[in-house]
Amino acid sequence: MDDVALADPPRMMTPSGSEVFVVELAEFSGPLDLLLSLIRDEQIDIYDIPIARIAEQFLGRISSLKLDEAADYLEMAARLVRIKAQMLLPRREGEDVWDDPRAELVRRLLEYQQVREVVDVLERRSEERRGRFARAYTQQAIQVPVPGALRISLPELLSAVDRVLRLARKPHIHDVVPRALDVDGAIGIVRALLAIRSHAQWKDVLPRKAEPWEVLSLLLALLELAKLGELRLAQPRPFAAFEISRDSTGEAA
Amino acid sequence: MTALAKLLEAALFASAVPVPVEALRVMAKHADDGETTLDIALAELRDHYDSDGHGVELIEVAGGWQILTRPEYTEAIERAQLAARPQRLSMAALETLAIIAYRQPIGRAEIEEIRGVGAGAILKSLHERALIDIVARGEGLGRPLLYGTTPSFLEQFALRHLEELPRADELAIALRAPRPATPTSVPAVTDNGEAPPRAD
Amino acid sequence: MTALAKLLEAALFASAVPVPVEALRVMAKHADDGETTLDIALAELRDHYDSDGHGVELIEVAGGWQILTRPEYTEAIERAQLAARPQRLSMAALETLAIIAYRQPIGRAEIEEIRGVGAGAILKSLHERALIDIVARGEGLGRPLLYGTTPSFLEQFALRHLEELPRADELAIALRAPRPATPTSVPAVTDNGEAPPRAD
């Protein structure tokens, strides 16, 4: 299709005798535009379109188009022909309600007409604005470090995580579950440690320069083992390091 | 002029785009210019430009305020090649913009259905001109990109806000099937961090 | 002001660069404002800005003439622009932040791959807001910048450390469970209410 800025480029030029149509076609922004203009030219009631006639005219107008440019127009032409055929079907005896095969087309035409009305408004506004210039010179901004107040909460962040996860679950995108959490591996480490010691500290089971995923894996492993009743977690005071103790049946808490 | 009016003038001159009213409000609060409120200072500045004979004027647009040159000087400025008017948009582009303005957030398929023609190239071009942006992704197959208009759209079409566009029931042709009528302002582009889609 | 002074104001306002005096002279000739010469009109405009109390001034620089914001206002303007920034993050920015929080250190390409759209502007904005920072450089071509969250990020969400974020597969539950709007209760660690300190 054409670039936004190029207002109605003369797209199609054929040496045939139908230059009039050709020139006009270039002015249409699509099949609905063409159709609407036919209806307007013929002064037809949009709610009662003589489909056979309009279809014929429509086909006549687009016959000069090159196929690749005309795909959208041809689709509309096919639609018109289909409606025409449906109109010819005999109505059943005693049928009260008749589904007018043109109804959907009428709806689309009206909708499109509304779009064009808005376009008129936009064109007027745009001309108004094009007649003025804004400031073009921008001064070098000085950097003032003022952290803008931000109002976001954890639930909002978590919802975003959730959205991302749903997004990531689509098969063609790869999985976004935090970097290879190895909870099972961490469970193994903790179990091995508690097999030889009844008490341990958080730092005993965590590598020195642990990655966030390792911390997270270990945390989840501890919670899992605590849930299974294999160990107990205690914290002597807030923010203090965890103490991990074996919680076998033979031992007191 | 009052101290606040001078500050506002400086701020408006320093910006190539409309200055959001929130930013002006912050200035008014900080300036603490006695009795002068933001509205008074804006009115003062506007009147000053209008009555004192200036080449520029103060305009309310796109949720903020902007100083623009007066139309009578446009030709001379263009002739001197100091600035150039933007190109007009094609009918196809305007139709697409109109649909997006009313139906945002809206995906490509729906736009194409309404216009009856492909929209890919136009969407790309409108996006490059910063008139539309991707504001969300839809549900369903492939999570289609959903488009909305930008503050720059309002600016380029001299609209204070989307509600300035005619309501659907004010248009001559009323649709029989009711659909979301008024263009609701979409709070999608709330942040300058709102990303344009990949271009690079 | 004289007609020529008004025209000069509009022209200088609209130009992206200082306007050479020759260009102004051509304009003045075209405008043909009676007795008013370019020099008179420029002096008039400068005096108007100076004596009438304006936020801008007319300056002669190497390349020609230019209207500039008076320097005493620049800081107030900058502050106001920053303070008026939206207090909420866009959906796109939140999603990007979420990805970084869980996958850090992570490069831009990977973020874009996950979200399917460009992330450049969002990363810049999150960085300006001090929610993320460059924490490392990746391996491979061009040694891409890798992003991670900052202490401000933790502060913003009242987290003591990153491990207080729930696991991805716990999220469904965490999101369903009713919780106060303020992030006081920490989702992941419920057993004794305290999370382990960070290892570093």
pLDDT digits (tens, 9 = 90+) for A28-58: 888 999 999 899 988 888 889 999 999 998 8
Cα-only R_g, chain B: 20
Reduce the secondary structure of C52-64 to three states and give it as a string.
Answer: CCCCEEEEEECCE
Residues of C in contact with A129 (CB under 8 A): none
Q: Among A1, A72, A111, select the one facing B114 at the smallest CB separation.
A: A111
Question: What residues 104-123 of chain A have any CB closer than 8 A to a CB of chain B?
Answer: 107-108, 110-119, 121-123
**What average pLDDT does range C65-76 have in this prediction?**
90
Per-residue pLDDT, A141: 53
Is the predicted pLDDT of residue B56 greater than 60, yes or no?
A: yes
**What average pLDDT does range C156-177 have in this prediction?**
68
Q: Does residue A232 contact residue A192 with C-beta atoms inside 8 Å?
A: no
Helical (H) or strand (E) element with C187: none
Report ipTM for this prediction.
Answer: 0.71
Q: How far is CA B56 from CA A128, A209, C7, C161, in A?
A: 15, 62, 9, 54
A167/C contact by beta carbon, under 8 A: yes
Per-residue pLDDT, C186: 36
| Cβ-defined contact of C13 to B79 (cutoff 8 Å) | no
Per-residue pLDDT, C14: 95
**What average pLDDT does range C119-140 have in this prediction?**
87
Instruction: List beta partners, residue A246.
Output: A231
Name the minimum distance, in Å, from the CA of A200 to any CA of chain C. 13
Between CA C72 and CA A59 the distance in angstroms is: 69
pTM: 0.65
**What average pLDDT does range C125-137 have in this prediction?**
89
Per-residue pLDDT, B103: 92
Reduce the secondary structure of B64-90 to three states and give it as a string.
Answer: EEEEEECHHHHHHHHHCCCCCCCCCCC
**What average pLDDT does range B156-185 have in this prediction?**
67
Query: What sign results for the dihedral spanned by CA atoms A28, A31, A32, A38?
Result: positive
A23/C contact by beta carbon, under 8 A: no
Among B85-99, C42-56, C184-198, which stretch is predicted with the lowest mean pLDDT? C184-198
Backbone angles phi, psi at C35, to 5 degrees: -75, -20
Q: Which of B65, B85, B186, B191 to mutate to test the interface with C (most CBs of C within 10 A)?
A: B191
Per-residue pLDDT, C52: 75
Q: Which residue has the tokens 């054929």?
A: A14
Between CA A6 and CA B118 the distance in angstroms is: 17
A85/B contact by beta carbon, under 8 A: no
Per-residue pLDDT, A238: 52
Other beta carbons within 10 angstroms of residue C184's beta carbon come to 9
| Cβ-defined contact of B198 to C14 (cutoff 8 Å) | no
Q: Does residue B84 contact residue C35 with C-beta atoms inside 8 Å?
A: no
| Cβ-defined contact of C118 to B1 (cutoff 8 Å) | no
Q: How far is CA A201 from CA A194, A204, A232, A243, C191, in A?
A: 11, 5, 11, 5, 17
| Cβ-defined contact of A178 to C179 (cutoff 8 Å) | no
Closest residue in A to B143 (Cα–Cα): A167
Smallest CA-to-CA distance from A77 within A121, A16, A119, A32 is with A32
> Using alpha carbons only, what angle is made at residue A116 by residues A110 and A119, rounded to the nearest 5 degrees?
150
Name the minimum distance, in Å, from the CA of B124 to any CA of chain C. 14
Closest residue in B to A128 (Cα–Cα): B158
Name the minimum distance, in Å, from the CA of C75 to any CA of chain A. 7
How far is the first Cα of chain A from the last one, in angstroms, to the nearest whole number? 75
Closest residue in A to B70 (Cα–Cα): A132
Smallest CA-to-CA distance from B13 within C180, A41, C74 is with C74
* Helical H segments across C56-182, by residue range: 74-83, 91-103, 108-115, 120-128, 151-156, 171-176
A2/B contact by beta carbon, under 8 A: yes
Is the predicted pLDDT of residue A169 greater than 60, yes or no?
A: no
Query: What sign results for the dihedral spanned by CA atoms C24, C30, C31, C35?
Result: positive
Name the minimum distance, in Å, from the CA of A211 to any CA of chain C. 9
A182 versus C45: the higher-pLDDT residue is: C45
A241/C contact by beta carbon, under 8 A: yes
Name the minimum distance, in Å, from the CA of B14 to any CA of chain A. 6
B149 versus B184: the higher-pLDDT residue is: B149
| Cβ-defined contact of A144 to C113 (cutoff 8 Å) | no
Q: Which of C1, C4, C7 to mutate to test the interface with B (most CBs of B within 10 A)?
A: C7
Is the predicted pLDDT of residue A75 greater than 90, yes or no?
A: no
Q: CA-CA-CA-CA torsion for A164, A167, A172, A173, nearest 10 degrees?
A: -10
| Cβ-defined contact of B172 to A8 (cutoff 8 Å) | no
Between CA B33 and CA C158 the distance in angstroms is: 38
Is the predicted pLDDT of residue A8 greater than 60, yes or no?
A: no
Residues of A in contact with C70 (CB under 8 A): none
Smallest CA-to-CA distance from A146 within B78, C70, C129, C119 is with C129
Closest residue in B to C29 (Cα–Cα): B76
Per-residue pLDDT, A94: 65
A160/C contact by beta carbon, under 8 A: yes
How far is the first Cα of chain B from the last one, in angstroms, to the nearest whole number? 47
Q: Does residue B56 contact residue C13 with C-beta atoms inside 8 Å?
A: yes
Closest residue in A to B129 (Cα–Cα): A4
| Cβ-defined contact of C69 to B14 (cutoff 8 Å) | yes
A101-130: burial string, b at 16+ Cβ within 10 Å, e else: bbeebeebbbbbbbbbbbbebbbebbeebb
Q: Using one digit for the tens of pLDDT, what is the confidence trace for C103-124?
A: 889 999 888 887 777 788 889 9
Name the minimum distance, in Å, from the CA of B4 to any CA of chain A. 20
**What average pLDDT does range C41-70 have in this prediction?**
91
Confidence of residue A145 (pLDDT cuts 50, 70, 90): very low
Q: Does residue C176 contact residue A167 with C-beta atoms inside 8 Å?
A: no
Confidence of residue A127 (pLDDT cuts 50, 70, 90): very high
Per-residue pLDDT, A213: 64
Q: Among C131, C197, C200, select the one facing A241 at the smallest CB separation.
A: C197
- Token digits of residue A135: 């400031």
Could you tell me which residues come within 8 angstroms of residue A110 by beta carbon, excluding any fewer than 6 positions away? A46, B173, B175, B176
Per-residue pLDDT, A26: 63
Cα-only R_g, chain A: 36
Is the predicted pLDDT of residue B7 greater than 70, yes or no?
A: yes
| Cβ-defined contact of B194 to C121 (cutoff 8 Å) | yes
Is the predicted pLDDT of residue C199 greater than 90, yes or no?
A: no
Q: Among B10, B56, B196, select the one facing C77 at the smallest CB separation.
A: B10
Average pLDDT value over all residues in chain B: 83
> Using alpha carbons only, what angle is made at residue B82 by residues B80 and B84, rounded to the nearest 5 degrees?
100
Q: Among B77, B81, B190, select the one facing C88 at the smallest CB separation.
A: B190
Confidence of residue B192 (pLDDT cuts 50, 70, 90): very low
- DSSP count for chain B of H helices, then E strands: 8, 6
Q: Among B9, B55, B193, select the one facing C10 at the smallest CB separation.
A: B55
Q: Does residue C76 contact residue B13 with C-beta atoms inside 8 Å?
A: no
Between CA A231 and CA A225 the distance in angstroms is: 6
